[in-house]
């Protein structure tokens, strides 16, 4: 029904965000790992979604990329694993870690995920092993490694942006205002904190 939603992260709570899009705030459940790896607050993001319909509620589950969404739906196909358990697995394991754990019969790694015991982990491996291709798993892993290396190259740029946001919040601006202003500066690798801060303040005064 809803393939994805693009909007600004209004606020974050445990394993969920509120994404504002078209003057509507969407309550979206997400893996905890999404918040550990990225600072989403105040940013415009594209969230790929899965709508879970129950008798008493409709819940949106969201993911930062299609690989996570695909894996989430794969987990839902395992007998006895519902959305909450699938989200717990993806909170504790990356999609790459999960695939290789399944392919190598690594019950111990999978059973570390919240709410997943040894028997459930064994069942998951049994039901998913034929659905995961080893060659494809290696190719996807390599893609993720290249993406991570690309992000590491901009580490200094990210640090400068964070320092600028911290400076703005110290001046009394809200986190959302500060993040929005810094994002609008069009930060480049050669910019220092002072330059970013000046441009951000200019944006706020427009």
Domain ranges of the chain: 1-64, 66-153, 155-204
Reported as a single tens digit per residue, the pLDDT across 141-182 is: 778 777 765 555 455 666 777 788 888 888 888 766 777 777
DSSP assignment of 36-58, as one string? Answer: HH---TT-EEEEEEEEEE-SS-E
Q: In this structure, which topology does domain 155-204 adopt according to CATH?
A: Helicase, Ruva Protein; domain 3 (1.10.8)
What CATH number matches the domain at 1-64, 1.10.10.10, 1.10.1660.10, 2.40.50.140, 3.30.9.10?
A: 2.40.50.140
Report how far residue 107's alpha carbon sits from residue 102's, in angstroms, rounded to the nearest whole number: 8
Report how far residue 42's alpha carbon sits from residue 7's, in angstroms, rounded to the nearest whole number: 10
Q: What is the pLDDT of residue 153?
A: 45
Reported as a single tens digit per residue, the pLDDT across 39-90 is: 788 889 999 999 999 888 899 999 999 999 999 999 999 988 999 999 999 9
Q: What are phi and psi of 168, to 5 degrees?
A: -65, -40
Extract the tokens encoding 7: 């909007």
Nearest 10 degrees: Cα torsion 148, 38, 138, 154? -10
CATH code of 66-153, in short, is 1.10.150.20
């Amino acid at each position: 029904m809803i393939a994805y939603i693009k909007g600004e992260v209004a606020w974050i709570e445990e394993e969920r965000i509120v994404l504002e899009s078209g003057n509507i705030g969407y309550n979206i459940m997400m893996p905890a790992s999404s918040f550990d790896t990225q600072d989403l607050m105040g940013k415009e993001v594209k969230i790929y979604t899965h709508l879970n319909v129950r008798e008493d509620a409709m819940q949106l589950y969201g993911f930062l990329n299609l690989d996570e969404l695909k894996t989430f739906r794969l987990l839902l196909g395992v007998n006895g694993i519902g959305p909450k358990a699938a989200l717990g697995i993806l909170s504790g394991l990356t999609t790459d870690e999960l695939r290789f754990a399944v392919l190598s019969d690594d019950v111990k790694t999978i059973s570390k995920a919240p709410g997943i015991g040894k028997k459930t982990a064994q069942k998951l491996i049994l039901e998913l092993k034929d659905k995961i291709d080893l060659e494809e798993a290696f190719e996807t892993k390599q893609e993720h490694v290249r993406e991570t290396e690309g992000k590491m190259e901009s580490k200094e740029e990210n640090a400068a942006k964070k320092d600028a946001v911290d400076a703005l919040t110290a001046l009394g601006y809200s986190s959302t205002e500060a993040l929005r202003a810094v994002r609008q500066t069009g930060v480049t690798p050669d910019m220092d904190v002072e330059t970013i801060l000046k441009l951000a303040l200019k944006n706020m005064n427009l």
